[in-house]
């Protein structure tokens, strides 16, 4: 047998090295010609017209003119990082996937987080679902787990996806709103699409405004299959569990952060990795034996449903660590091409009709965005497993294939490349038995649209419930067409009475409207996708604690941003004591002062200022500390922005602590009179700040926000 041709990926990496920017390198044209003058174009005389002959100018400008590629039609705004994945225990019983069996192996990953609706330049803090797409560079080829931070989806069948996305995007006649679902077309569609009820509960919950990309869960959503080396299949649902816990911001904060720092999430991810605080997630799986496929009160193939963790526990099987920022945003984050159809042996699809549609869409979209079937040759998309096949040519082909044959079977090339047997790692699709009619219909088993929507609402803490009510009241309040509001509240009434009542009240309705018959408007009865009446069943799980953001969060303040509000004359001890305690816990300290540059402490030491009250904004911090210092406090009291910082912090339920001199400042805020008692979450030291107060402050921070303060607002 002739040896397969040698993989020439080494040559490609040589090429890459040549394009790296080194300090000792000359500026050249794209053809390698050294450039002598990059400041002036070639002209006919000092004040004369430019010459067409100037090939250097033309090459530079032409390249610039073509620098943009189409942005992703969805998930256009994204932030990404490199990392590794390691499995804890071999998963041999369920899957033969190499990266899920070899506990020594560090599989490289590239992860891209995104919002869905907005354009590339839109704000990070839009109320939206977040994409959570992971590319595993495994030894058996690329595996992409292209998920979201919400475990269910709006629709059950891929054929409705273009409608959903058209509805949420800026309205076609007006070109707005950008990155927002609070408008007529979105809610028009949703109100006619009762299958979206469950997803709407999630999208209107705090999950849609995460505190950090590092503090959100990820989900594969669809049911997939694991296949073991005996060819046996088990169903599997994938989860990512963040080790920093799951946390969100408040809507009022989200709106303000969008103005203060629309790159808030991107910056946060980048900075944490630069600081060596590598974000980590555990990969969780819910394993469902084939025999149990029909034992649930919903259909495993229905992407609008989840399996409550109480029914099938999530087993944590490995850890992903993001440890390196991309070198180049365009080359990596922008050009990375995910596809749920990038599989490795040991993992396979289910027949979820949403997943099946996605299997077409992603290659198609790469062809349009990246412009060539050779997108797999872009460095970020390249497999670390060698590639040998008879695919050839096309735009921007990098590989220089050798030899006479590019077809199979062949004898001239010795029959290369060869098909791999299953025992040699060849992929073979799971032989699922299918024996049915060719039809365009939705399965009856998909028709319960409301039970899990109710389950989600009922499983939230009181604060979270109130946030869902507020979010729906806000979004529907932005809808101009009264009939859409009415139809939507009718849908809410099938989810939860209080939810519908409170939202209808906020919308100024005199009573909760009756649900409309959910037959699609404008669709002839015999062509209606929703032929059945959506129902509510009597599900086994009535409340699932794991659905609350506050479930099982680890006690940590790692990477939390604490603003020290101070200025010249600040007391050294007061700063240092708090700083040392917080840094020990892994928090970040930011000095926010009356001016940029440095401040001079009481002892004359210089402290570097991170933000002045002009450049900084209270919304981007997690908590506030006002250290001692007579002069510092005198200056702070005179600065109106300081009051604003603290009042906003109080409003956004952030822990606030002051050393004794801070009383002066607290007294002039609008919350100064409310700070006595535990509910307020404001600590004021009566003497010098001490361990006891610092410990109490850290405890408040571990809870993320002072939830009890809501009662005082």
* Active-site amino acid positions: 75, 148
Which of 98, 131, 518, 655: binder of ligand HDE (CB under 6 A)?
Answer: 131
Place of tokens 């209606």: 528
Which of 100, 109, 142, 158: binder of ligand HDE (CB under 6 A)?
Answer: 158
Report how far residue 203's alpha carbon sits from residue 128's, in angstroms, rounded to the nearest whole number. Answer: 6
Which of 9, 41, 321, 361: binder of ligand HDE (CB under 6 A)?
Answer: 361
Nearer to ligand HDE, 456 or 621 (CB): 456
Tokens matching residue 335 = 């050009």
Residues recorded for the chain: 713
Nearer to ligand HDE, 131 or 242 (CB): 131
146 binds ligand HDE (CB under 6 A): yes
Place of tokens 């039609």: 73
5 binds ligand HDE (CB under 6 A): no
* Residue 444 CB neighbour total at 10 angstroms: 10
Cβ(446)–Cβ(302) below 8 Å = yes
Residue 292 backbone phi and psi in degrees, to 5: -95, 5
Residues ≥6 apart with Cβ < 8 Å to 491? 190, 191, 194, 197, 515, 518
Which of 112, 214, 376, 485: binder of ligand HDE (CB under 6 A)?
Answer: 112
Residue 631 backbone phi and psi in degrees, to 5: -65, -45
362 binds ligand HDE (CB under 6 A): yes
Residue 250 backbone phi and psi in degrees, to 5: -85, 155
Question: What is the contact mask toward ligand HDE in residues 202 to 221, using x (rule: CB under 6 A)?
Answer: -------------------x
As measured in angstroms, the least distance from the Cβ of 189 to ligand HDE is 14
Place of tokens 């007061």: 574
Binding region for ligand HDE (CB under 6 A) out of 87-95, 305-313, 355-363, 700-708: 355-363
Residue 691 backbone phi and psi in degrees, to 5: -55, -40
Contacts with ligand HDE by CB under 6 A: the residue count is: 25
Nearer to ligand HDE, 80 or 675 (CB): 80
358 binds ligand HDE (CB under 6 A): yes
Binding region for ligand HDE (CB under 6 A) out of 275-283, 352-360, 434-442, 524-532: 352-360
As measured in angstroms, the least distance from the Cβ of 118 to ligand HDE is 13
Cβ(97)–Cβ(157) below 8 Å = no
Binding region for ligand HDE (CB under 6 A) out of 336-344, 504-512, 562-570, 627-635: 336-344
Question: What is the contact mask toward ligand HDE in residues 38 to 77, using x (rule: CB under 6 A)?
Answer: ----------------------------------xxxx--
As measured in angstroms, the least distance from the Cβ of 165 to ligand HDE is 8
DSSP for residue 44: S
Binding residues for ligand HDE restricted to 577-636, rule: CB under 6 A: none
Binding residues for ligand HDE restricted to 483-522, rule: CB under 6 A: none
Report how far residue 57's alpha carbon sits from residue 673's, in angstroms, rounded to the nearest whole number. Answer: 67
As measured in angstroms, the least distance from the Cβ of 151 to ligand HDE is 9
Which of 357, 379, 534, 586: binder of ligand HDE (CB under 6 A)?
Answer: 357
Nearer to ligand HDE, 153 or 457 (CB): 153
Nearer to ligand HDE, 75 or 198 (CB): 75
> In 544-594, which ranges are E strands?
561-565, 588-593
Tokens matching residue 402 = 């050798």
As measured in angstroms, the least distance from the Cβ of 479 to ligand HDE is 24
Cβ(595)–Cβ(628) below 8 Å = no
Report how far residue 516's alpha carbon sits from residue 503's, in angstroms, rounded to the nearest whole number. Answer: 17
Greatest Cα pair distance in the chain: 90
Nearer to ligand HDE, 70 or 426 (CB): 70
Count helices and strands (H / E) in the chain: 17, 18
329 binds ligand HDE (CB under 6 A): no
Report how far residue 512's alpha carbon sits from residue 510's, in angstroms, rounded to the nearest whole number. Answer: 7
Report how far residue 203's alpha carbon sits from residue 210's, in angstroms, rounded to the nearest whole number. Answer: 11
Which of 148, 196, 454, 574: binder of ligand HDE (CB under 6 A)?
Answer: 148
As measured in angstroms, the least distance from the Cβ of 119 to ligand HDE is 13
H or E stretch at 185: helix 184-191
The contact set with ligand HDE (CB under 6 A) reads 72-75, 78, 112, 114, 131, 133, 146-148, 153, 158, 161, 221, 336-338, 354, 357-358, 361-362, 365
């Amino acid at each position: 047998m002739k040896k397969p041709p040698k993989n020439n990926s080494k040559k490609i990496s040589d090429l890459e090295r040549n394009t790296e920017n080194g300090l000792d390198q000359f500026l050249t044209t794209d053809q390698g010609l050294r450039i002598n003058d990059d400041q002036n174009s070639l002209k006919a005389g000092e004040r004369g017209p430019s010459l067409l002959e100037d090939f250097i100018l033309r090459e530079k400008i032409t390249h610039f003119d073509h620098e943009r590629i189409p942005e992703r039609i969805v998930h256009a705004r994204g932030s990404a990082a490199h990392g590794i994945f390691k499995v804890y225990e071999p998963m041999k019983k369920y899957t033969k996937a190499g990266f899920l069996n070899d506990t020594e192996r560090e599989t490289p990953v590239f992860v891209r987080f995104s919002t869905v609706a907005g354009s590339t330049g839109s704000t990070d803090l839009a109320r939206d679902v977040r994409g959570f797409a992971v590319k595993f560079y495994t030894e058996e080829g690329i595996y992409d787990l292209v998920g979201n931070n919400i475990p269910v989806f709006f629709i059950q069948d891929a054929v409705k996806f273009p409608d959903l996305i058209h509805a949420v995007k800026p309205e076609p006649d007006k070109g707005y709103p950008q990155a927002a679902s609070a408008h007529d077309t979105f809610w028009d569609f949703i109100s006619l699409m009762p299958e979206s009820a469950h997803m709407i509960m999630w999208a209107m919950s705090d999950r849609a405004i995460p505190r950090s990309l590092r503090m959100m869960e990820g989900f594969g959503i669809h049911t997939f299959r694991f296949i073991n080396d005996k060819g046996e299949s088990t169903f599997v649902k994938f989860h990512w569990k963040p080790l920093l816990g799951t946390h969100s911001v408040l809507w009022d904060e989200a709106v303000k952060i969008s103005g203060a720092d629309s790159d808030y999430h991107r910056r946060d991810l980048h900075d944490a990795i630069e600081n060596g605080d590598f974000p980590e997630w555990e990969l969780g799986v819910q394993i469902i034996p084939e025999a149990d496929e029909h034992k649930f009160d919903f259909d495993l193939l229905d992407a609008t449903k989840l399996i409550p963790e109480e029914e099938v526990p999530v087993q944590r099987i490995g850890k992903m660590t993001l440890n390196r920022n991309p070198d180049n945003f365009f080359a990596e984050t922008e050009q990375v091409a995910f596809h749920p159809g990038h599989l490795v042996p040991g993992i396979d699809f289910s027949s979820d009709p949403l997943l099946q549609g996605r299997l077409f869409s992603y290659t198609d979209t790469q062809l349009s965005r990246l412009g060539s079937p050779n997108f797999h040759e872009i460095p970020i998309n390249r497999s670390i497993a060698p590639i040998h096949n008879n695919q050839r040519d096309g735009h921007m082909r990098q590989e220089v294939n050798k030899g006479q044959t590019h077809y199979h079977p062949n004898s001239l090339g010795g029959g290369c490349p060869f098909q791999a047997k299953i025992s040699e790692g060849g992929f073979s699709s799971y032989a699922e038995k299918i024996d049915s009619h060719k039809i365009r219909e939705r399965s009856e088993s998909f028709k319960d649209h409301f039970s899990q929507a109710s389950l989600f609402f009922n499983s939230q803490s009181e604060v979270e419930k109130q946030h869902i009510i507020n979010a729906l009241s806000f979004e529907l309040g932005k809808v101009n067409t009264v009939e859409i509001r009415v139809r939507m509240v009718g849908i809410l009434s099938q989810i939860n009475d209080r939810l519908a009542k409170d939202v209808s009240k906020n919308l100024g309705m005199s009573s909760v409207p009756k649900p409309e018959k959910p037959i699609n408007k404008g669709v002839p009865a015999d062509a209606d996708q929703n032929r059945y009446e959506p129902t509510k069943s009597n599900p086994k799980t009535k409340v699932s604690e794991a659905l609350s953001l506050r479930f099982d969060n680890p006690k940590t303040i790692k990477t939390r941003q604490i603003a020290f509000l101070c200025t010249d004359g600040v007391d050294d001890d007061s700063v240092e004591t708090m700083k040392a305690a917080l840094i020990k816990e892994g928090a970040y300290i930011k000095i926010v002062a009356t001016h940029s540059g440095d401040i001079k402490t009481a002892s004359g030491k210089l402290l570097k200022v991170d933000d002045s009250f002009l450049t900084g904004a209270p919304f981007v911090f997690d908590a506030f500390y006002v250290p001692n210092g007579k002069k510092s406090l005198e200056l702070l009291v005179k600065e109106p922005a300081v009051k604003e910082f603290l009042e906003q912090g109080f409003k956004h339920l952030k822990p606030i602590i002051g050393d004794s001199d801070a009383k002066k400042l607290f007294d002039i805020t609008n919350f100064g009179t409310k700070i006595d008692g535990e509910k307020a979450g404001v600590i004021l030291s009566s003497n010098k700040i001490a361990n006891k107060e610092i410990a109490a402050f850290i405890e408040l921070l571990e809870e993320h926000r002072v939830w009890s303060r809501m009662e005082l607002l």
